[in-house]
């Protein structure tokens, strides 16, 4: 079964490579993801590029390198990182803490797992995330600088990064505890989006659940099952009940929302493959997480479009994995940034974010299918398998 998912993940990677990867401004040794396909002129020139989408593209490249180590892909990883820095005007940082956390996670994995290391970038991003902690203002760390919106999509990935990169277990625990005390819906046990100006923002997004699952699992591995594992058990049950009708993770359209279901799939796979413990609850959480990933992946694959000559006969995934994907065109409304977020193209399948989620899901399915059902990690920390020979 793992070879089936390896083949599907390779097809998803080939689709992104063919349709979306381009040199930045024609510069050798660079590569970024064009944010739409079919691409208009501004897309091709990378006038819009969406910093955090590119971080998830880098994460997918790392996933693929773990699946099948390849020197050419390692070069693509290096090109992606170099182009990110150049397109961001020579800086690793921006004004959004969630953006920086996503990039930090991808860079940490690229260095640890593929050998493409950027220690100064990681140090810079770590400082940003550590210094953003302002419990006296109601957080948590805020969504962006000079803002009073403290949310799960900033605190979750930042906490995961701080555990993996700098062993900042106390700060990561504080972030997890803040989320658990402030953002858990007492009825559904799902994670609310955040707190803005002292008021609870009650929206519940799939990626909020994903990042909290990732953070609590990392802490359960490092500190011992206990409280953090119990939170994972509770949240996996809530996701299965409320965010996966018929076992398929819900979609959120295109634009930034196109990444939401893929992020949840990534961290469900982390639960399935690394949550420690051998109690009935531990095994049930791993099995449920594994089933959600595989059922979602099967649905997304069955509902894909297979694009013809121009698209290389490769998969194009839907924004909603339980529905048939719609073939995008160059006409209609394009995704654009509005007040710090990217809305959807008229046909959301046009957006790179949607296709990255499909690729993330295929890699997650491969990761969980390669491990026996119910098995957990015996590692002393949440290490992912490295490339052959390392």
pLDDT at residue number 382: 42
Does the pLDDT value for residue 383 go beyond 50? no
pLDDT tens digits, residue range 170-194?
Answer: 999 999 999 999 999 999 999 999 9
Q: Is the dihedral of CA 95, 96, 97, 99 positive or negative?
A: negative
Report the alpha-carbon distance of residue 212 to residue 132 in Å, rounded.
Answer: 18
Average pLDDT, stretch 351-375?
91
Task: Classify 167 in phi/psi space as left (phi over 0), alpha (psi -120 to 50) or beta.
Answer: left
pLDDT bracket for residue 309 (50, 70, 90): low
3-state secondary structure of 269: helix
**Helices marked H in the chain — which ranges?**
2-20, 41-44, 51-67, 71-87, 97-114, 119-131, 152-166, 169-182, 206-223, 226-242, 260-274, 280-302, 352-369
User: Please, which pLDDT band fits residue 288 given cuts at 50, 70 and 90?
Assistant: very high
Report the CATH number of the 1-326+341-370 domain: 1.50.10.20
What span, in angstroms and rounded, lies between the C-alpha atoms of 70 and 178?
A: 41
Q: How far apart are CA 170 and CA 145, in angstroms?
A: 23
- DSSP string of 164-196, one letter each residue: HHH--HHHHHHHHHHHHHHSB-TTT-PBP-EEE
Cis before 302 (ω within 30): no
The residues, any chain, with a CB within 8 Å of residue 88's CB and separated by 6 or more, are 51, 94
In percent, how much of the chain has pLDDT > 90? 86
Determine the Cα angle at 163 with ends 132 and 202, to 5°.
55
Provide mean pLDDT across the span 142-153. Answer: 96
Q: How far apart are CA 326 and CA 316, in angstroms?
A: 9
> How many residues comprise the chain?
390
Distance between CA atoms of residues 144 and 93, nearest Å: 11
18-29: average pLDDT: 96
Q: Is the pLDDT of residue 385 over 50?
A: no
Domain ranges of the chain: 1-326+341-370
């Amino acid at each position: 079964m793992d070879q089936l998912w390896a083949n599907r993940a390779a097809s998803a990677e080939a689709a992104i490579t063919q349709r979306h990867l381009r040199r930045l401004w024609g510069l050798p040794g660079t590569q970024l993801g064009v944010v739409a396909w079919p691409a208009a002129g501004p897309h091709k020139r990378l006038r819009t590029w969406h910093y955090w989408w590119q971080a998830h593209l880098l994460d997918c490249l790392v996933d693929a390198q773990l699946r099948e180590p390849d020197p050419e892909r390692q070069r693509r990883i290096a090109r992606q990182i170099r182009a990110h820095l150049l397109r961001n005007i020579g800086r690793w940082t921006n004004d959004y803490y969630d953006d920086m956390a996503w990039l930090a996670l991808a860079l940490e994995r690229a260095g640890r797992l593929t050998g493409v290391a950027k220690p100064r970038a990681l140090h810079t991003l770590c400082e940003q995330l550590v210094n953003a902690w302002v419990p006296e203002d109601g957080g948590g760390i805020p969504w962006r600088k000079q803002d009073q919106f403290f949310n799960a999509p900033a605190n979750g990935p930042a906490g995961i990064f701080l555990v993996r990169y700098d062993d900042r277990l106390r700060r990561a625990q504080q972030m997890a505890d803040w989320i658990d005390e402030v953002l858990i819906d007492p009825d559904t046990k799902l994670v609310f989006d955040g707190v803005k100006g002292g008021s609870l923002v009650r929206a519940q997004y799939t990626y909020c659940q994903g990042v909290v699952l990732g953070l609590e699992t990392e802490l359960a591995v490092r500190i011992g099952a206990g409280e953090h594992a119990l939170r994972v058990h509770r949240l996996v049950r809530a996701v299965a009940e409320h965010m996966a009708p018929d076992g398929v993770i819900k979609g959120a359209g295109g634009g930034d929302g196109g990444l939401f279901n893929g992020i949840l799939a990534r961290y469900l796979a982390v639960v399935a493959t690394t949550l420690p413990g051998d109690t009935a609850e531990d095994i049930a959480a791993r099995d449920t997480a594994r089933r959600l990933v595989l059922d979602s992946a099967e649905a997304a694959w069955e509902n894909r479009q297979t694009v013809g000559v121009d698209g290389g006969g490769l998969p194009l995934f839907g924004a909603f994995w339980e529905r048939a994907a719609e073939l995008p065109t160059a006409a209609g409304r394009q995704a654009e940034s509005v007040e710090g977020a990217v809305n959807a193209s008229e046909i959301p399948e046009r957006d790179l974010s949607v296709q990255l989620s499909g690729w993330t899901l295929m890699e997650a399915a491969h990761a969980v299918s390669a491990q026996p059902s119910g098995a957990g990690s015996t590692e002393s920390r949440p290490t992912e398998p490295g490339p052959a020979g390392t």
